[in-house]
Chains A and B, each alone.
Chain A
Amino acid sequence: MPILSIDFLINGLASGAALALLCLGLTLTYMTTRVPNFAHATIAVVGAVVTLLLLDWVYIGLRGGAVYYTLYIVAPILSALIAGLLALTIYIAILRPLSKKGIGIIGLMIATFALDIIINNILTLILHLTPSKYIGKLIGASVKGYGVLVYIPILDVNIYLSRLLLPIIAVILTISLHLYMTRTKFGIAMRASIENPQLAKALGINVDLVYAISWFLSGSLAGLAGSFLAFEFPGINPAIAYLYIVSIFAGSILGGLSSMYGALAGGLVVGVSEVLIPVMIQNIYYTITGSIIDIIRYQKFISLLIIIIVLLVAPQGLAGVSWRNLLARVVRVG
C-alpha cells in the first residue's frame, strides 16, 4: 500500500485551503480589532447551513440539468454574503459598542464566546424546525452525495468538484486580496490602520470603516469556506464548530496572528496535516505490522499539538520567524 494516495492528497489540500481561508479571517479581525473571535467557526457553519438549505429548497430539484452546476457559484456567494453580514452585525451591534464602553479584551472575548453559543443554538433550532423538501432531516444531514463528481483522466480518479474548486478559489482569493491590499488606496489604508491606528486617524483615514470592513471580509471568507465544507462534513450539525474552532486557532497561532500570509500558511499546514498525518501513520503502521489502527477520529489532536509546540517553541508563529536570517544560515551551512 502506498503511504499516500492521490485522493488523500487532494483531500488534504482541500481541507488545508478551507482552513487557510478561515485562519485568514480570524487573523484579520484579530489584527484590526484585537479580538480573538471564538464565534468564527460557527460563522463558517452559517455558510454550510445556507448551502444546505439552498440545496434542499432549490437545487436538489434541479439535479440532472446543467443549471445544477450553478450551485457552485450561487451557494458560495450567497453563503459568503450572509456570513459576512452576520460578522459585520456582530462587530457593529455588539463588539464596537462594548469596546466603546471600555470593556477590555477579556470581556470582548467572552462576548464572542457567548455569541458563538447563541448563533450555534439558533442554527440548531433552524435545522430542527425547518421543514425539509428533499433531504428529509436537515440536522446532521450529509450533503456529500449531492456534490458533483468529476473524473480526472490523467490521475484516473473521481473527485468531488467542491474539493477541486476549494484550493483553486483559495489561490484566486489570496492573489486578489494581495492585490487589493497592495494596489488599492483603501487596501493600503487597511494595512496602515492595522499597524498604527493613531497615525492613520491623524492622516484622515476612517479607521472605524476599516475595522468594519475587516469583519465583513472575515465573515465572508468563513461563509465561503463553510459553503464548500458543507460537502466535507460528515453531517451538518452546528456543534462541529466547537471542535473546528480549535483547528482555526491552531492555524492562526502557527501563522503568528499578526500577518495575513502567516495565517494562510498556518491554516494550510494545519489543515493538510490533520488529513494526511493520521492516514500516513495508519498506512505506515499497516505496512510494518499488517494490522490497522483506527486513529483518524483523533485527527483534531494534531491541532492541539501544533498549538502547544508553537507556543512553547516560537510563540510569535511563522510570522515571527526571521526567514531571511534563517535562509542565510541554511545557505551558509549548505
Chain B
Amino acid sequence: MVELPIILMELANMLVFIIVVLALNLMAGYAGIPNLGMALFVYIGAFAVAGLSVRFAIILVNILNPDFIEMMRVTPPYKYAVGESSILDIILFKVTDPAVNRHLVPELNSIIGDSIPLSIMILTFILASAIALGATLGLIVSFTAVRLREDYLAIVLLAFSEMLVQVFFAQVDWVAGGRYNTWALTPWPQKLSQSLGNLLPSGVKPELFIGLIVAIILAITTLIYTERIANSPMGRVLRAMRDDDLALTSYGRDIAKIRLKVMMVGSSIAALAGVVYVLSVQPVVKATDYTRVTWTFIPWAMMILGGIANNWGVIIGAVIVYIGRKLIEILAPPAFTTILSLIGVEVTGATIDIVKAVTVNILVGVIIILVLYLKPEGIVPEKPSKTLPRKTLNSLIEKFRGSSS
C-alpha cells in the first residue's frame, strides 16, 4: 500500500531527526545547555544548501564559463528579472528572486552534474559552510548568556532562533528567499545518478537514494562522535559541571569556555542535519517552515522520552516519536472526519490537516509533561558514571584550561 520511495524518504527524515536529537543531547543532556533554539541551527544548514551554495555555484560556473552571468542578462527567462543589474547585484540579490531561482537552480544542477570535480567542490562547500555557519552562530548566540544561569541561556537561544529564522530570514527576501522559497542544489554527478538509476527499483529517485546514504553515514558518524565525547574526560567534566552547582561558581570561566565549545560542535551537527534534510527530503527551502514546533519542540520530546544524556536512549525516543507521529497522521484522518461531522463541523481537507497537526502537537506536549512527571529519566536512563573525585576534576579542568588558551 505504501510505496518504497515514500518509506525511504520517511527513513531519511527520521535519520535527520536522530542526528538533530543527538546534537541536542550533546548540548542539553551532557552539557546542561537547554537549547531552545535548535530550529535556527537546522535552518542554517538548509540555508547552506539553498541560498548560499547557489551563489557559490554561480561564481564557480562563471569562472569556468566567463559568459555565464553575462548571458543571463540577455536570455529569457532571466533577462526580464535581471535586466541591467551588475554581476554583484545578480550574485547577491537576484539568485534568490523566484523568477530567477526557479530556472537557475535546475540549470546549475545540470552543469554541476556533468562535472565530477565541480560536483565535489560544491559538495565540499556545502558541508564546510554548514559546519562553519553552525559553529559561528552557535558561538555568537550563546556568547551573550554563556556565563549566566541556564534559564537565561534558554531564553537567549529561543530569542535568537525566533528572530533570525522567523523575522530575518523569513522577511528579508534577498538573503535566502524570504517570503518566497528557494530551491536547493542537488550536487550529485550525473554519472552516479544514471548508474544508480539502473540499479534502483523503479520509482526510487537516485537523489533520494544518495541522500539516504548520506543520512545514514552522518547519523552513524554523529553517534560515534557524541558517544566518544560523552565517554571522554571532557564528557565527565561536562556532567560534573551540569550536576554540581559548586563547580559553577568556582570554575565559571572554564565552564563558559567548555559550553561555547559544546555549542559550536552541537550547532554544526544540527546544521549538517539541515543539509541532509534538504538533500534527501525537502529540496524547497522556506524559512517559515523551520518552526520551533518541528525542529525544537519535537526533538526535545524525543530526547526527554528516550532518556536525557543517553545517546541510545534518545535514538529510541526519536524513533518512537517519529513513527508515532506518522501513524497518527496516517490513521487519524478518518476518525477526525467522523468526529468533526458528529459535532457538526464542515469537513474539508484543510480542516483535517489542521486537526491532524494540532493533535500531534498537543500529544507531543503531553508526552513531555507526562514523562517529566512519571519517568523523568526517560525510557533508557543515563548510565550511572562514577562521580569524579574533586582532585581528578581539578586536574582535568587544568588540562582544558591549558589546551584552550
A224 within 8 A of B: no
Categorize the interface residue count of chain B.
35 or more
Which residue in chain B gives the minimum CB-CB distance to A247?
B159
A308 within 8 A of B: yes
- Knowing A106-B34, A250-B159 are in contact, say whether A121-B376 is a contact too (CB < 8 A): no
A307 touches B144 (CB 8 A): yes
A117 touches B163 (CB 8 A): no
* C-alpha spacing A105/B155, complex, angstroms: 13
A124 within 8 A of B: yes
Residue in A101, A125, A301, A308 whose beta carbon sits within 8 Å of that of B168 in the complex:
A301
* C-alpha spacing A105/B300, complex, angstroms: 15
Residues of A within 8 A of B151 (CB): 36, 105-106, 109
Residues of B within 8 A of A246 (CB): 158-159, 162-163
B300 touches A113 (CB 8 A): yes
Q: How many residues of A contact B (CB 8 A)?
A: 43
Which residue in chain B gives the minimum CB-CB distance to A127?
B354
Residues of A within 8 A of B355 (CB): 125, 128
* C-alpha spacing A117/B360, complex, angstroms: 11
Main secondary structure on B side of the interface with A: helix
Residues of A within 8 A of B351 (CB): 128-129
B397 CB to nearest A CB, Å:
23
B210 CB to nearest A CB, Å:
34
Residue in B149, B158, B345, B366 whose beta carbon sits within 8 Å of that of A118 in the complex:
B366
B171 within 8 A of A: yes
* C-alpha spacing A129/B166, complex, angstroms: 27
- Knowing A97-B373, A122-B362 are in contact, say whether A109-B145 is a contact too (CB < 8 A): no
B72 within 8 A of A: no
In A113-137, which residues have CB < 8 Å from any B CB? 113-115, 117-118, 121-122, 124-125, 128-129, 131
B200 within 8 A of A: no
* C-alpha spacing A243/B158, complex, angstroms: 10
B348 CB to nearest A CB, Å:
11
B158 touches A98 (CB 8 A): no
B136 within 8 A of A: no
* C-alpha spacing A242/B150, complex, angstroms: 20
Residues of A within 8 A of B369 (CB): 94, 98, 111, 114-115
A101 touches B163 (CB 8 A): no
B167 touches A111 (CB 8 A): no
A234 within 8 A of B: no
In B354-389, which residues have CB < 8 Å from any A CB? 354-355, 357-358, 361-362, 364-366, 368-369, 372-373, 376
- Residues of B at the A interface (CB closer than 8 Å) are 28, 32, 34, 36, 144-145, 148-152, 154-156, 158-160, 162-163, 166-168, 171, 291-293, 297, 300-301, 304, 340, 343, 345, 351, 354-355, 357-358, 361-362, 364-366, 368-369, 372-373, 376
Given contacts A114-B365, A121-B358, 9 further A-B pairs with CB under 8 A are: A38-B158, A98-B372, A106-B151, A110-B34, A111-B369, A114-B366, A298-B167, A304-B163, A311-B152
